[in-house]
Amino acid sequence: MSTRSSGLSGLTSARQVGRLAPVRRASTVDLIADRLREAVVDGSLPPGAALGEAELAFQLGVSRGPLREAMQRLTAEGLLVIPRRRGLAVRTMTPEDVRDIHWLRARIEPELGRRILARPLAERKTVLAELGTEVKRMQRALKKDDARALGDAYLDFHRGLAAWGGSIRLARMMATLLIETRLCTFSMYEHFEVAVDLVPEHAAFVDALAAEDAERFTALMRAHLDAEVRRLLSEPETAKEDDADRLLAETPDEPQPLDRLDLPEGI
Amino acid sequence: MSTRSSGLSGLTSARQVGRLAPVRRASTVDLIADRLREAVVDGSLPPGAALGEAELAFQLGVSRGPLREAMQRLTAEGLLVIPRRRGLAVRTMTPEDVRDIHWLRARIEPELGRRILARPLAERKTVLAELGTEVKRMQRALKKDDARALGDAYLDFHRGLAAWGGSIRLARMMATLLIETRLCTFSMYEHFEVAVDLVPEHAAFVDALAAEDAERFTALMRAHLDAEVRRLLSEPETAKEDDADRLLAETPDEPQPLDRLDLPEGI
DNA sequence: TATTGTAAGTTTGTCGACAATACGATGATC
DNA sequence: GATCATCGTATTGTCGACAAACTTACAATA
């Protein structure tokens, strides 16, 4: 408060001086949720992984209370499933989920090019630079045959797209969808697989934006998402079938199609 | 398990007999979350309402633990905001939120007609019947000048659309968006207002579906969403400015545009 | 008179503990 | 030999309590 009223000069209005970035202390729950999300993204909590909350809480150095709160948040995002009295588990994605997620992405992402191009020139330049950086990261990862790094750059590329092309709400939604996409990768393939096409596809995105060609961007994105679904579903037979997985995956004849999502009953 | 293997006859395959609806006991957290969502939808927790968690927990007859977990879930859905050390509060929607929400809805809902029409005939009939019922509810509500009931029927109509036209994930997402739409109404207008156009607009949706005209449905939905944004934003000056509201609404010069959402940092 | 400093009160954030429940193993019976 | 029942264990779901932090009110000083 004291800082607020201390104007540097009589000319700057008090209002302007007051424009400070708000202090943003993340709550413990935020921290835990971030950490869990991170663990899901980088694979240290693979789909189907069942971990007791006491153990998890100990690892994170917090009590079970905040951990449970964070779990609820991730559950609402669809990343975790909480079967009653069976701890927490990372969601296992099914081929149906893959189609579903990509259908949603296909509604949103193709439009983002148009919205980015509608921004002022200075911002557009920033966006292009940022996206270009991610593409370079992807290239480097590809050379090193590092599928993990490639996936990370992929995530950041699309996150950037959503952040610049949309609102906070959209960015949040896309962030969740992207993590779910990553989960699809984990759920569908036993190991990561370097998709060679990915880099040129994304370079083309940047090109289209640089050329201010929204139509081309849209078409490219549609094609990319289609290709990704095909990539993911091309080997549906190799889906993991570990014991840990079975813990939550629906039984072969899926008796509880609704229960799996543990959805908040908002419907 | 025992029930599963008890076949009634040798002719019915064990598989068929086993197809029982899973027992779905809602956890306490589910119950609380539903109750809170309900309260937000029906307006008993108006935007900006600040309620202590001790008080709330007492009212709901539960301890603070589960209540806090439910709050985290609603927070992830964007319905609640949890300013640190200030209890929970229902989100106050801004004109920007209105545009944002409807932009997202406009990506999804127009497509739903096509997806519903792709379903088998028997299901299509069910959908039409259901949607028709909701339209009748809207008509009745309009006659009685009951804006609340009209809004409820509106919600159920679109919920049905999402439930039949999409996946579980999409339905869940739409459910949240619809509740947020309702919150927009609360945030924008002092009182409910009966929108006369709403009923014919929705009757037209049903007509288009009955005629199996996906294109018309798409166009109608786009027009409807456009109109709704205009309706909501036509009187941006009459936005509520109660004291309770101020508690969370950004200050006039919005110093913390990011903080307001209390987003899970997934970006 | 306005502003700042102080103190009290209230609320949240976190933790530990208890009890209920589901699961697994072992033993008994048909 | 297989199936069912019972017991023990481990884990969750819930609650109560403590401590820290924020807000508000009041008083003192410039």
B244 falls within a domain: no
Identify the sign of the CA torsion B90, B95, B98, B103.
negative
| Pair B111, B181 in one domain | yes
Gap from B60 CA to C9 C1', Å: 25
| Pair A215, A104 in one domain | yes
CA distance A233 to chain B (A): 18
pLDDT at residue A4 tops 60: no
C-alpha dihedral over A132, A133, A137, A142, to 10 degrees?
Answer: 20
Domain span including residue A119: 95-237
| Pair A106, A232 in one domain | yes
pLDDT digits (tens, 9 = 90+) for A212-261: 999 999 999 999 999 999 888 875 433 443 333 333 333 322 323 223 33
Q: Which two tokens stand for residue B143?
A: 């006659």
A263 falls within a domain: no
pLDDT band per the 50, 70, 90 thresholds, residue A19: low
| Pair A34, A150 in one domain | no
Q: Is B3 on the interface with A (CB under 8 A)?
A: no
| Pair A155, A67 in one domain | no
> With contacts defined as CB-CB under 8 Å, which chain B residues touch A96?
167
Which nucleotide's C1' sits nearest to the alpha carbon of A5? C3
| Pair A83, A99 in one domain | no
Gap from B126 CA to C25 C1', Å: 50
A155 falls within a domain: yes
CATH code, domain with A72: 1.10.10.10
Residues 6+ apart with CB under 8 A from B35: B60
CATH code, domain with A197: 1.20.120.530
What is the structure's pLDDT at B45? 86
CA distance B100 to B225: 12
| Pair A127, A204 in one domain | yes
- Of the three residues B91, B112, B129, the one that is the final residue of a domain is B91
Which residues have Cβ atoms closer than 7 angstroms to strand C?
A: A 1-2, 5, 27-29, 62-66, 84-86; B 52-54, 64-65, 68, 82, 84-88
Gap from B28 CA to C24 C1', Å: 27
Number of C-beta neighbours around residue A77 at 10 A: 24
Instruction: Please answer whether residues B47 and B240 qualify as being in contact, where contact means their C-beta atoms are separated by less than 8 angstroms.
Output: yes
What is the structure's pLDDT at A233? 87
CA distance B15 to chain A (A): 8
Q: Which two tokens stand for residue B10?
A: 């040798």
CA distance B255 to chain A (A): 6
pLDDT band per the 50, 70, 90 thresholds, residue A186: confident
B15 falls within a domain: no
Biggest distance spanned by C-alpha atoms of chain A: 74
Region A58-63 average pLDDT:
89
pLDDT band per the 50, 70, 90 thresholds, residue A190: low
In this structure, the strands spanning B80-81 and A88-90 are unpaired
Describe the crossing of helices A214-233 and A95-117 by its angle, rounded to 10 degrees.
170
Number of H helices, E strands in chain A: 12, 3
Query: What would the DSSP string read from start to end of chain B?
Result: -HHHH--S-SSS-HHHHT-PPPP-PPPHHHHHHHHHHHHHHTTSS-TT-EE-HHHHHHHHTS-HHHHHHHHHHHHHTTSEE--TTS-EEEPPP-HHHHHHHHHHHHHHHHHHHHHHHTS-HHHHHHHHHHHHHHHHHHHHHHHTT-HHHHHHHHHHHHHHHHHHHS-HHHHHHHHHHHHHHHHHHHHH-SS----TTHHHHHHHHHHHHHTT-HHHHHHHHHHHHHHHHHHHHS-GGG----HHHHTTSPPTT-S-TTGGGT--S--
Gap from B57 CA to D18 C1', Å: 19
| Pair A74, A181 in one domain | no
Yes or no, beta carbons of A104 and B169 under 8 Å apart: yes
Yes or no, beta carbons of B266 and A24 under 8 Å apart: no
Q: Is A26 on the interface with B (CB under 8 A)?
A: yes
Instruction: Please answer whether residues A160 and A137 qualify as being in contact, where contact means their C-beta atoms are separated by less than 8 angstroms.
Output: no
B22 falls within a domain: no
CA distance B203 to A236: 42
What is the structure's pLDDT at B23? 60
What is the structure's pLDDT at A214? 96
pLDDT band per the 50, 70, 90 thresholds, residue A196: confident
| Pair B81, B181 in one domain | no
User: Which residues between 84 and 123 in chain A have a beta carbon less than 8 angstroms from any beta carbon of chain B?
Assistant: 84, 96-97, 100-101, 103-104, 107-108, 111
What is the structure's pLDDT at A252? 29
What is the structure's pLDDT at B24? 61
| Pair B100, B228 in one domain | yes
How many domains are there within chain B?
Answer: 2
What is the structure's pLDDT at B50? 75
Nearest CA to A231 out of A189, A199, A179, A203 is that of A189
pLDDT digits (tens, 9 = 90+) for A83-126: 877 778 899 998 999 999 999 999 999 999 999 999 999 999 99
Residue A80: in which H helix or E strand, if any? strand A80-81
A68 falls within a domain: yes
pLDDT digits (tens, 9 = 90+) for B54-82: 888 888 889 888 999 999 999 999 999 88
Yes or no, beta carbons of A76 and B77 under 8 Å apart: yes
Yes or no, beta carbons of A96 and B167 under 8 Å apart: yes
Q: Is B29 on the interface with A (CB under 8 A)?
A: yes
Gap from A264 CA to D11 C1', Å: 24
Instruction: Please answer whether residues B158 and B116 qualify as being in contact, where contact means their C-beta atoms are separated by less than 8 angstroms.
Output: no
> Which of B30, B72, B103, B104 should one mutate to test binding to chain A, selecting the residue with the greatest count of A CBs within 10 A?
B72
CA distance A13 to chain B (A): 13
Yes or no, beta carbons of B175 and A267 under 8 Å apart: yes
What is the structure's pLDDT at B49? 75
Gap from B79 CA to D23 C1', Å: 25
Yes or no, beta carbons of B76 and A78 under 8 Å apart: no
Strand order in the sheet with A50-51: A50-51, A88-90, A80-81
| Pair A83, A115 in one domain | no
Nearest CA to A265 out of B161, B175, B61 is that of B175
pLDDT at residue A81 tops 50: yes
Nearest CA to A107 out of B179, B104, B222 is that of B104
Residue in A with minimal Cα distance to B29: A72
Question: Which ranges of A118-197 does DSSP label H, i.e. alpha helix?
Answer: 121-143, 147-165, 168-188
Select from B76, B166, B170 the Cβ nearest to the Cβ of A76.
B76
B34 falls within a domain: yes
Nearest CA to B76 out of A1, A68, A203, A78 is that of A78
CA–CA–CA angle B33, A168, B225 (5° rounding): 80
Mean pLDDT value across chain A? 79
Yes or no, beta carbons of B175 and A266 under 8 Å apart: yes
B100 falls within a domain: yes
pLDDT at residue A60 tops 70: yes
Sites in chain B below the pLDDT cut of 70: 1-25, 189-194, 235-267
CA distance B130 to chain A (A): 15
Which nucleotide's C1' sits nearest to the alpha carbon of B63? D15
Residue in A with minimal Cα distance to B99: A167
User: Which residues between 193 and 252 in chain B have a beta carbon less than 8 angstroms from any beta carbon of chain A?
Assistant: none
| Pair B39, B134 in one domain | no
Which residue has 């941006």 as its token pair? B236
